[in-house]
């Protein structure tokens, strides 16, 4: 079964129509703000949202997607593939590691996060190059996922965030803060230029500048 608007097309199982309608309502509230940020008048195609009620099918998708080629990371509950959002249904989502007790608001922030990825892909100069650091940074920021806000500075090597982002502890928090620094200190057009070609950034310089910014703005101390 499906429902749709001008941007989204949601596929759902019989009996889940009310839930799908609620999700679509939230996304309709968010879509203009996010598309305006990326200066998009429209998407190249409708963004399909597929809810998974079978964990193994979602695991198969993730390993085929090449994001986690060796084994499925249990905390991962959603992904974008070919501009479409794939996400565990609400019940399976709440059973995933690190997502126990997830609220409907948290679930919708994840959907918004994934929509940011879909919009970001629309403006990439080279869609074959999608470094995760800034992609996850802008997604967590625009989705309002403040749970990633740090209480200390970034304490990892640039190489970790470039070569091993998804296996690096606190990587999403580091990405959130780095993008927060860019949003607060750069013009909107400068940020878009960075997001169009994220592979060109100097990650070590970003880490250093973000730590200086965090220390000055929040009086933070180094992580221990």
Neighbours of 75 (CB within 10 A): 11
Domains delineated in the chain? 1-123 (3.40.30.160), 131-224 (no CATH)
pLDDT at res. 69: 47
Average pLDDT across each block of 10 residues of the chain; the chain has 224 residues. List them in order. Answer: 94 86 94 97 95 88 61 79 91 88 92 96 93 97 95 94 93 97 98 97 97 85 56
Task: Please give the pLDDT value at position 221.
Answer: 58
C-beta atoms surrounding 73 within 10 Å: 15
Residue 39: what pLDDT? 98
The four Cα atoms 67, 70, 74, 80 give a dihedral, to 10 degrees, of 20
Position 72 scores a pLDDT of 64
Q: What is the pLDDT of residue 66?
A: 53
User: 102: which residues sit within 8 A by CB, 6+ positions away?
Assistant: 90, 93, 94
Note whether 39 and 122 are within 8 A (CB).
Answer: no
């Amino acid at each position: 079964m499906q429902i749709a608007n001008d941007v989204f097309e949601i596929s759902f199982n019989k009996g889940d129509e009310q839930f799908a309608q609620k999700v679509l309502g939230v996304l309709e509230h968010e879509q203009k703000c996010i598309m305006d940020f990326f200066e998009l008048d429209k998407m190249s195609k409708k963004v399909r949202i597929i809810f998974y009620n079978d964990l193994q099918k979602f695991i198969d998708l993730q390993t085929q997607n090449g994001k986690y080629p060796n084994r499925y990371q249990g905390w991962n509950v959603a992904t974008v593939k070919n501009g479409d959002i794939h996400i565990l249904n609400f019940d399976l989502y709440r059973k995933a590691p690190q997502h126990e007790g997830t609220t409907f608001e948290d679930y919708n922030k994840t959907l918004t996060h994934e929509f940011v990825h879909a919009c970001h892909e629309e403006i990439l100069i080279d869609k074959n190059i999608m470094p995760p650091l800034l992609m996850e940074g802008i997604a967590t920021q625009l989705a309002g996922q403040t749970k990633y806000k740090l209480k200390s500075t970034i304490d990892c090597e640039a190489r970790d965030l470039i070569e091993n982002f998804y296996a690096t502890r606190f990587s999403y928090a580091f990405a959130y803060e780095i993008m927060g620094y860019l949003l607060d200190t750069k013009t909107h057009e400068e940020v878009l230029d960075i997001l169009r070609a994220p592979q060109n950034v100097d990650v070590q310089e970003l880490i250093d500048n973000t730590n200086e910014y965090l220390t000055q703005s929040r009086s933070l101390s180094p992580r221990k």
